[in-house]
Chain A
Amino acid sequence: MTLFESLRHNRRAAIGAMLFLGILLAVLPFTVGSMMGNSWLRILDFALLYIMLALGLNIVVGFAGLLDLGYIAFYAVGAYFYALLASPHFGLHLPVWLIIPGGAMLAGLFGIILGAPTLRLRGDYLAIVTLGFGEIVRIFMNNLNAPINITNGPQGISGIDPINMGGVTLAKPIEFVGITIPSLHAYYYLFLGLALLIVFVSIRLEDSRIGRAWVAIREDEIAAKACGINTRNIKLLAFAMGASFGGVAGGLFAGFQGFVSPESFSLMESVMVLCMVVLGGMGNIPGVILGGILLTLLPEAFRHGAGPVQMALFGKILLDPEALRMLAFGLALIVVMLYRPAGLWPSSTRRREFKGEGA
């Protein structure tokens, strides 16, 4: 029995572990900030955004088994929704509590619109069509600056309002009962809160009538229909839920970054999120979170490390650290799939399945 499973059975140990984890998460930005500097704190904030994205995609790919390669489009919808409604671009400055949920709903709607034509498709075909949708969304973002300037084209939209909660902006240090919380820390806590909310929603959904219906469709669509599951609606629900998580993350991204451009929503980003889900362990929430953390931190570590290491070894930078980082990423994808096709942390039933087949 793994640590995780034994915690499920022992209530007191579970509460202790939760408390420990809670304290760890609460002090993490201060530790990281003082030991590793602000750039790593930013990376930490991004890791939380990616966890939200990975959990959203996990609903579509992991639970419902619908391979989506255009998922980043929903992140883009959330981000542009925020950018357009809270920036000098249109001169609109709507409050956060309106645009984040609004972005989530709009992204969910996009999920339904893009999902509807693909309902009959599966596997590779679905992957290609969703990839096409993702690219179309990006091409439109790139080109909708003429004749009417909506997206400001490849230059993107800058000067986006920072997230502002009840009159307190997160862009500046916040004084709170005598403690000063720097901006990056404040964003960290906001993102952490929303990431935890998304984890909570994911867990609740997984263990529900809807969650079971998703998995049933993944396992055998025809049998699922015969069991009375309206596969069309349930699939669209998966697209909408997954997309809305992406929309939330996108809105947060826009407010955090202060700038959005089509470049942030390339196919590579979709691939990255998919890899978080698959490498972590499709359908298993802790695995997906692990995937999100690893795939945000490791490439960054590689990028930060590859330059100095080369300097130390050869006295100059021989190889482009960015290319090295991606090279390592590509190799990691291949190696993990060859040796752990169910991911690094598969769900316990899947693990059992692998044991069962080995026996």
Chain B
Amino acid sequence: MSAVYDASSSPNNTNANPSVAKKLKALIVDDDAIVRMIHKALLRKFDVETHEVKNGQEAVLAHRSGAYFDLILMDLDMPVMNGRQATKELRDMHVCSLIAGVTSLGDEENKSFIDAGLDYYYQKPLTVDAVRNLVDKIKGSSQSC
């Protein structure tokens, strides 16, 4: 598993057949390998292409090297850079992807996480219904930023 997202290895976004909907891309940001594995399986159920990083800094670096994702699943408590800082930095960089915070903490800690720029917030474990809701929101939105 690569630690840092490599923008050069991503498939080209040009779609030869316009009738085929573009596959959604998601970035999973979590230091726990088990959580990453589960989130990946959840997203694949909805045919979402997944990429993974282990902390907020790696998520920021991926975007600095030009990566774009329709959805970012962001953990809060991570080493190096937590989800709150990463979300704030991404928003400061004008990243307009849908960012969903996924944490195991109580509401109090999450207030500042949400304020950092989350679109949605879910308690772990993430469910199939929550992912379906996120995918529907993205498909329903205009996608332009």
Whether chains A and B associate is no
Q: Point out residues on B near A: beta carbons under 8 Å.
A: none
